[in-house]
Structure 1
């Protein structure tokens, strides 16, 4: 019995030992395989790492810009600064003498909100935006330098002087300011001292220098003052000496959260088809998709975009400025006059006509007139002989194409033959009657006649008083695409909405425009 138990114990111990040996062997095998795999993977990892170490990084290895190249780049971003001229002067700055009228270094200027320069005088503060060479035939005092800006005085009384800086001249040329031209009408509001007001300031170039164009201008209270203002004098002449036909100017775009990118594509293509050679837009803040559209058309040379800010004490904080211009309507309208007139003076030599439009407006030729050029040529034949050169503007009356007319019971919601993304082409129901003559109009302005521009018409002209010619609604109309009437027309808005007609004039152009809009949206990746 004892022997039997011993044998069993011996057998059990033997089996246990065999099991442990087998388990140990299996563990060693697993460990060896694991280590082998780990080492192989590690080697592969090291091999990949070494390849990465040998690779080339995608960084910009372009050579550093020279000082002159850097100044040129900056001047393109801030056109009113004479950066290239200043760079060529190096440290040899012109001056009347050591204590009188020294050329102000760019680094010593008094900037305001990026694009403005500030001059504080004994009677008012000047916020200056741009300077321009004006040698138009009808200007009696030509050539003159115009300075565009805002002053916190209604009728500036302070005497100021222009220091004109000419290339290769070691001294400035002094000339008195002979006019502060008010670019506003007092009855429109904000007509009091202390609030900034838009002005065009003029200095005549002395006779002995009239064959020269100044590089820049400084505005000072006393001739010998050390200037804190230095504006490049812009003199944009046409390429190859040939003027183009039509330029369109657009006030500061303020679409921070509204994605109007697709509508903007349609609008650009319509205007370009009708005859706009180039569209000049100013920009506050826009939706990223709008930026994408603007960049696309910039590369194609169809648009030019200029960033802009509000001057002086007005807010430029993102979002807050949007609220400000929405609530402060009169201030907004005064501020708009700066980009409008900057656009005029930058392009007065390069284009035969300049028009100011919002992105919901289209000047539409009618009848035998298909394009803008046809319209102007045919309408000019109706102007009495001898008066064509005198006409400052060709005026077009306004008519509303309301969004609500598009969705009313008596009108179809959509036209199947028109893509749904073509907002303007889908809206062919308009108010039966145009707004009254002279109200909410737009115009083709003759830049050889107009001196200052308002959104709707010229405020001042050279070579006599302004003399607009009103185009018949049979020849053209300003098609205004809105959700509702402007605030001033609220009382009569129901009348415009209740009496409507179908107007398919724009459909005469649908094939080429729809094709180009669709192609552009595809190129920009707007289709899912």
Structure 2
């Protein structure tokens, strides 16, 4: 009996102990589960969410900009959290539920654009004519009244697009990638006006083709045979069929009875034979401002995948504006987000015109990979650059007297005058004394302001030590330059005369009305200040002996020190670059 009682008491104690232990384990489990769930929610909703997504192909991309699109709030994020975890983390928390009981989530409730409104908006970022976007109900009739040639206006849904900003013509023996079309009635071009089409073509000698001009008030097209201006030199490489070559396709605009001779076509299609149904249709750009300004700057496609040059870019833009640039035209391939922030700011101010651009044909446009393609395919890169340069030319032949093609590490610096306008007045006087005609271009010789100068023990590593100047202002800090200029005609940059140029290259015009005459501006009047880490590739072997030894102190830029510091610092502060 005694043994039985003792055994019963032990059994009760064991049950009691198991019950208490189970309760403790349950409480600990619940606390741990809620904590982990809360941490996971914070992790996925914060900056770590994008890192969690991992591979590039799992992230939605904007192929026009090259940036990863935000996916917070979409199934991409929510699918990472299981339903029971969400219930434990949110639904069971009565305090959170009551706090937001009468709140409304912030969703986009703005007006949805109609099809017509969307077309009008797209007109600003495409090369298509207004007949498609703004005047869908008033587009030219598809049927031609010409019985011998029943060419019809192509439907927008039948056009052959390539990489967003290009249209394609697949001819029998060539493939054409068309970027833009422009009206050119400069008097040096002849009695008839021209339409110029920028194109990349996979042939050195393209086959014959025909322009179909479309006018808003004419139901049938007007035809004109095309001619070709080659935008490259064979000695520069890539001179063979099968590789895309830069061309300017030119078509004369015939006189049309009853219409003004200065009337520009609304759009143009390029076809192999004049009666073909077109697979392309480009808006003909004809910008005609009331006032022709003096200077604009053109910059090739920006390709800065990871390098943040935003602060240097602000200093550069402000200096060019002080010197006389009314607008800076830049083309965006792939840039750091901080650079985008700077360019968007200046675009809103009207000082910068920023245009998205892609590579035509089978060249890669995958963000990241395109950057390395251009880095390793330098000749292809140079050929592609001719498209934005000449787009900038033809968009502005009536808007500016001079175009200056610069990289963002270059500045044409007047040495005896305060700005470009005063400089060019003197240059015109000097050049006309030698030969009495205006030149196609006026070139400025290159001199290096390298990050470090000297050799061996004499080498000077610049760390921002100029007193009274913020360390973050690169050009104002670097006032020691190479003693020698690069040779005349090498690595120069020009003031290009928009009345004479037919096609542009980075350093000189390639084709002009008549001959491409140039005048070399004396180095006592101006110099191209080039801010680099090292000399350009072909000069690296001689860089130490020719450009690093015996540097010269050159503080010409300090003439603009006070306004440049004030303007640059104000913009950087406004954009949040200072903590």
- Please tell me whether Structure 1 or Structure 2 has the larger radius of gyration of its CA atoms: 1
Let me know the Cα RMSD of the aligned residues: 2.2
Whether the 8 Å CA contact 1:248–1:280 is kept in 2: the answer is: yes
* Alignment partners' CA distance in 1, 2:95 and 2:541: 80
Gaps of 5+ in 1: 1-41
Which residue of structure 2 aligns with residue 479 of structure 1? 529
Instruction: Determine if the alignment matches structure 1 residue 299 to structure 2 residue 323.
Output: no
Which residue of structure 2 aligns with residue 262 of structure 1? 311
Cα deviation for residue 381 of structure 1 reads 1.0
Instruction: Determine if the alignment matches structure 1 residue 516 to structure 2 residue 567.
Output: yes
Which residue of structure 2 aligns with residue 499 of structure 1? 550
Whether the 8 Å CA contact 2:211–2:223 is kept in 1: the answer is: yes
Paired residue for 2:511, among 448, 456, 460? 460
- Higher mean displacement: 482-491 or 388-397: 388-397
For these two proteins, the number of residue pairs brought into alignment is 478
TM-score normalised by L of structure 2: 0.79
Paired residue for 2:328, among 271, 279, 296? 279
Instruction: Determine if the alignment matches structure 1 residue 346 to structure 2 residue 398.
Output: no
Which residue of structure 2 aligns with residue 117 of structure 1? 167
- Higher mean displacement: 398-407 or 211-220: 398-407
Cα deviation for residue 351 of structure 1 reads 0.7
Which residue of structure 2 aligns with residue 315 of structure 1? 364
Instruction: Determine if the alignment matches structure 1 residue 382 to structure 2 residue 430.
Output: yes
Cα deviation for residue 94 of structure 1 reads 3.5
Instruction: Determine if the alignment matches structure 1 residue 215 to structure 2 residue 262.
Output: no
Whether the 8 Å CA contact 1:83–1:106 is kept in 2: the answer is: no
TM-score normalised by L of structure 1: 0.86
CA 321–365 in structure 1, closer or farther in 2 if over 3 Å, else same? same
CA 417–194 in structure 1, closer or farther in 2 if over 3 Å, else same? same
Which residue of structure 1 aligns with residue 14 of structure 2? none
Paired residue for 1:146, among 178, 196, 218? 196
Whether the 8 Å CA contact 1:71–1:83 is kept in 2: the answer is: no
* Alignment partners' CA distance in 2, 1:386 and 1:134: 30
* Alignment partners' CA distance in 2, 1:230 and 1:282: 22
* Alignment partners' CA distance in 1, 2:96 and 2:343: 46
Which residue of structure 2 aligns with residue 404 of structure 1? 452
Gaps of 5+ in 2: 1-92
* Alignment partners' CA distance in 2, 1:405 and 1:373: 32
Give the match's secondary structure for 1:515.
helix
Cα deviation for residue 141 of structure 1 reads 4.6
Q: How does 1:166-205 map to 2 (within 5 A)?
A: 166-177=215-226, 179-205=227-253
- Higher mean displacement: 66-75 or 518-527: 66-75
Structure 1 stretches of 4+ with a deviation exceeding 6 A read 42-47
Cα deviation for residue 123 of structure 1 reads 1.7
Which residue of structure 2 aligns with residue 35 of structure 1? none
* Alignment partners' CA distance in 1, 2:419 and 2:319: 11
Cα deviation for residue 45 of structure 1 reads 7.8
Cα deviation for residue 92 of structure 1 reads 6.2
CA 416–211 in structure 1, closer or farther in 2 if over 3 Å, else same? closer
Cα deviation for residue 518 of structure 1 reads 0.6
Instruction: Determine if the alignment matches structure 1 residue 334 to structure 2 residue 376.
Output: no
Cα deviation for residue 106 of structure 1 reads 1.5
Instruction: Determine if the alignment matches structure 1 residue 82 to structure 2 residue 129.
Output: yes
* Alignment partners' CA distance in 1, 2:135 and 2:461: 65
Which residue of structure 2 aligns with residue 64 of structure 1? 112
The C-alpha deviation readout for 1:327-376, integer Å capped at 9, x for no partner, is 11111000000000000000111011101000000000002x11011111
CA 298–45 in structure 1, closer or farther in 2 if over 3 Å, else same? closer
* Alignment partners' CA distance in 2, 1:116 and 1:382: 44
Cα deviation for residue 86 of structure 1 reads 5.1
Cα deviation for residue 77 of structure 1 reads 1.6
* Alignment partners' CA distance in 2, 1:397 and 1:518: 30
Whether the 8 Å CA contact 2:160–2:169 is kept in 1: the answer is: yes
CA 172–92 in structure 1, closer or farther in 2 if over 3 Å, else same? closer
Q: How does 1:95-114 map to 2 (within 5 A)?
A: 95-96=143-144, 100-114=150-164
Give the match's secondary structure for 1:138.
helix
